[in-house]
Amino acid sequence: MKSRFHLAFPVNDLAAARHFYGLILGFPEGRSSDAWIDFDCFGHQIVAHLQPDGAGDRAVNHVDGHGVPVPHFGVILPMEEWELLAARLRNAKVPFVIEPYIRFKGQPGEQATMFVRDPSGNALEFKSFRDFSQIFATA
């Protein structure tokens, strides 16, 4: 079995999290309680924990001319899946923090990226590389 990550994060409202992660992003729901919900994020386990007023980013870091929210989490997808997700988010009228675009164009590590926020203000980044060998490229 390949390794998978697990990420637990705070949300202000479980019903809003269930709608965003389950219906808008299309992540299948796993176990849940009145305090948390498991989601299958492209084969990885993410868990929304009810923590009113505990969610959201705290700062930005400037990368390639954009203010990247910190903290954030996300996943690296094959380009076709990234494009489908961008279209899904647009169709659902989810506002982008950073619109889908190509970062570091023509440089090592060139990547497609986009940022959105969940209803609790948590920032998510979805990215893709045409060449996955460039994920950790430095030169």
Evaluate whether residue 1 is within a structural domain.
Answer: no
Evaluate whether residue 139 is within a structural domain.
Answer: no
The CATH number of residue 32's host domain is 3.30.720.120
Cα separation of 39 and 23, whole Å? Answer: 11
How much is the pLDDT for 55?
81
The CATH number of residue 128's host domain is 3.10.180.10
User: Which among 42, 29, 39, 31 is positioned nearest to 9, based on CA atoms?
Assistant: 39
User: pLDDT tens digits for the chain (139 residues)?
Assistant: 789 999 999 999 999 999 999 999 999 999 999 999 999 999 999 999 999 888 877 788 999 888 999 999 999 999 999 999 999 999 999 999 999 999 999 999 999 999 999 999 999 999 999 999 999 988 7
Range of the structural domain that residue 91 is part of: 59-134
Q: In the structure encoding, which two tokens stand for residue 80, read together?
A: 């076709």
On whether both 27 and 68 belong to a single domain, the answer is no
